[in-house]
Structure 1
Amino acid sequence: MENHHACTIGLGSNTPDREYQITRAIEHLCGYLQKCSVSSDYETEAINGKDASYMNAVVHGYSQHDYDTTVKFLKDWEAECGRTQVATVEGIIPIDLDLVIWDEHIKRPKDFERHYFNRGYRELLAKGAYETM
């Protein structure tokens, strides 16, 4: 796809309505991206061992926009869903959207190595989501 950027986004939520938050985020992302592929959703324990468990998923698709515009789109959705600095410090994450891979470059190496991203990423690999267009 000419002038489209491949992107892989990790999703997470640890609020009581986390399944709903993940579903809404997937719908929102697939409205923004082209050729959207979505992993199943799955639960993982919080990295710090004390916050509520997370519901996670991974989405891969193609953005017509540049990197900064795409990241802003993700962060604007987080804010719209109620994510604030105070809530983050308190360990309450309505939705977390991290652009981990952009045009085959790992932008967030720590997230790329984490089990909460790798589970969905490996599932998308197995489904052929990363075959060249």
Structure 2
Amino acid sequence: MNRVQHHEAVISLGSNVVEAEAMLREAIARLRLIGSEIVVSQFYNTPDISGSGKVYGNAVLSGVFGLDAVSLQSRCKDIENSMGRRLSSSCVVIDIDIVVFDGEVIRPVDYGREYFTIGMDYIKAGRLLD
């Protein structure tokens, strides 16, 4: 009998389009379909790290998934693509990245950035999306 192994993941979400909140909500809804015990920070804004002046809408999601890190990241990229993400564009419809997987920081650059730390602080403080 094969048992599905469950993994905890903390995921960073961002969007710099006018309808960023709607894009974040859609991505969260799609991640809820493949995960459980989902907790999401309240939404917040951060400036583009490139200094372009664009503002990103952000959230951090924590949950349990029955996929290994590679498979989960692949699903995240599938969600991005299906929502219209184009890597050649400075218009970021949605960006979804696993930052922590089973307690291990797998994207250390993101882990220290404001767009991630604010969301983690919100989760720790119980400032969650309704």
Using the size of structure 1 for normalisation, the TM-score is 0.89
The one-letter code sitting in structure 1 at the alignment partner of 2:39 is S
SS in 1 for 2:33: helix
Runs of 4+ in 1 over 6 A off after TM superposition: none
Instruction: Name the residue aligned to 1:114.
Output: 113
Aligned partners of 1:51 and 1:78: how far apart in 2? 23
The match for 2:45 among 29, 43, 46 is 43
2:97 pairs with 1:98:
yes
> 1:26 deviation in Å?
1.0
Which residue matches 1:10?
A: 12
Shift of 1:3: 2.0
The percentage of aligned residue pairs carrying the same residue is 33
TM-score (ref. length: structure 2): 0.90
SS where residue 9 of structure 1 aligns? strand
- Structure-2 separation of matches of 1:82 and 1:51: 22
Which secondary structure does the structure 2 equivalent of 1:34 belong to?
A: strand
Tell me which amino acid in the other structure corresponds to 2:113: R
The equivalent residue for 2:22 is 20
Of residues 34, 37, 57, the one that matches 2:36 is: 34
Could you tell me how far apart the structure 2 residues matched to 1:12 and 1:97 are? 7
Match of 1:125 in 2: 124
Name the amino acid aligned to 2:57. M
Count of aligned positions: 125
CA RMSD of aligned residues (A): 1.7
Q: Give 1:51 shift.
A: 4.6
In structure 2, how many angstroms separate the alpha carbons of the residues matched to 1:13 and 1:111?
Answer: 15
Please identify which structure carries the higher helix content. 1
Structure 2, unaligned stretches of length 5 or more?
Answer: none
Q: 1:62 offset after TM fit, Å?
A: 0.5
Secondary structure of the residue aligned to 1:84 is coil
Q: Distance in 1 between matches of 2:107 and 2:100?
A: 7
